[in-house]
Amino acid sequence: MDAFLDRRGGALIGGGVLLVVALLVGLLFMGGQTSRILSTVGGSVTNQGSGTGSDSGDQSSTGSGSGSGSGSGSGSGGQVADAAAAVPALLIVRTGELTLQVPDLDTALRDGGAAVIRAGGYISGSSRTSDDGHASAQVTYRIPSAAWEATLSLLHGMGSATISEQIKTEEVTGQVVDLTAHIANLRTTEAALQAIMAKATKISDVLDVQEQLTTTRGEIEKLVADKTHLEERASYGSLAVTYRLPVAPTPTMTPRPAKGWDPGDDVARASGKLVMIGQTTTSIGIWLAIVGLPVVIGAALLALAVWQVTRFGRWLIRRREGIVEPGV
């Protein structure tokens, strides 16, 4: 009986040992498989972006439809991710208007342009005006975004006074990211259409694909131009500066103190008035003598002629009626 129990106990112990060993082996095997699966997934994720070109190429070379669809999807996602990663962290469009009072226009224009050029910018436009002696000059500077603040401080230092200032900023990073992703998707579509056109055999199919390809290329060119414009505006801020000369003060007339009564002044003014009246009367007499007399003589002669004509007419009438003898 004791021997049987000893044999049974030994068997149980041996079985337990074997079970523990089997569990350890199983855990080791599963750990190796898990590591291999994780490494495979990691490798596929890492190579997803780089697989864009190969997947696009496989669309034209691989005959299976599933492989082409898979490659197109992963390629599009990789292009979008690469495009988003290529955009800088922050894109800000800066615009502003600044009015400065300066002692000399020529010096201000020269020093302001030199400061902007040293910062890597340039002058995009300028003009000068002079109205009623108030001369001014307007200049538009394009300043690199990295040197915006420093250049603005230099321009402030050139003016004797800042009359007005207005600065605006607009963050356009999101717009550039959206445009970049859209361009990447359209380029993937363009590559797919080119692959389809290469395999098309019917003229109608070629024409349809060519129309879609032309539309896609037009959209790509428009979006690329919009993206380039935004990036250029973000790279170079626009600052419109107006330089003005100091306004000369308007002279004010000092009122004379009020005078008291002065008899001599009254006599002088009365004498002047009398002289003026005499001069006026004399002028009227001269005009009447030179202009009025001939007019009066002419009027008298005209009246006499009219009277004579009237008298002669009456005489003729009386003669016809027999009132006056012909010999009279």
Please report, in tens digits, the pLDDT of each residue of the chain (328 residues total). 444 444 444 455 555 555 545 554 444 444 443 333 333 333 333 333 333 333 333 333 333 333 333 334 444 445 545 554 555 578 899 999 999 999 999 999 999 999 999 999 999 999 998 877 688 999 999 999 999 999 999 999 888 888 899 999 999 989 999 999 999 999 999 999 999 888 888 888 889 989 999 999 999 999 999 999 999 999 999 999 999 988 766 666 666 666 666 777 778 888 888 888 888 888 888 887 888 778 888 888 888 888 888 888 888 887 777 765 554 4
By three-state DSSP, how is residue 146 classified?
helix
Sheet holding 134-144, edge to edge: 122-131, 134-144, 236-244, 92-101, 161-171
pLDDT at 69: 36
pLDDT at 28: 43
pLDDT at 256: 66
Nearest to 115, CA basis, from 156, 173, 56, 170:
156
Q: Which two tokens stand for residue 265?
A: 């002044």
User: Whole-angstrom Cα distance, residue 232 to residue 145?
Assistant: 10
The b/e string for 209-225 (b: 16+ C-beta within 10 A; e otherwise) is beeebeebeeebeebee
Enclosing H/E stretch for 161: strand 161-171
pLDDT at 3: 45
Q: Which two tokens stand for residue 303?
A: 């009246």
User: Whole-angstrom Cα distance, residue 160 to residue 226?
Assistant: 40
Instruction: Give the helix, strand, coil percentages of the chain, each rounded to 5.
Output: 70, 15, 15
Q: Which residue has the tokens 């299976």?
A: 64
Q: Which residue has the tokens 């910062």?
A: 119
pLDDT at 15: 54
Q: How many helices (H) and strands (E) does the chain have?
A: 9, 5
pLDDT at 116: 94
Q: Which two tokens stand for residue 149?
A: 């603040």
Task: Count CA within 13 A, CB hemisphere, residue 185.
Answer: 10
* Exposed / middle / buried, residue 115 (Cβ in 10 Å: 0-12, 13-18, 19+): buried
CA distances from 312 to 172, 317, 324 (A): 110, 9, 13
pLDDT at 197: 86
Residue 133: which region, alpha, beta or left (left: phi > 0; alpha: psi -120 to 50)?
A: left
User: Whole-angstrom Cα distance, residue 184 to residue 70?
Assistant: 17
Enclosing H/E stretch for 168: strand 161-171
User: Whole-angstrom Cα distance, residue 255 to residue 250?
Assistant: 16
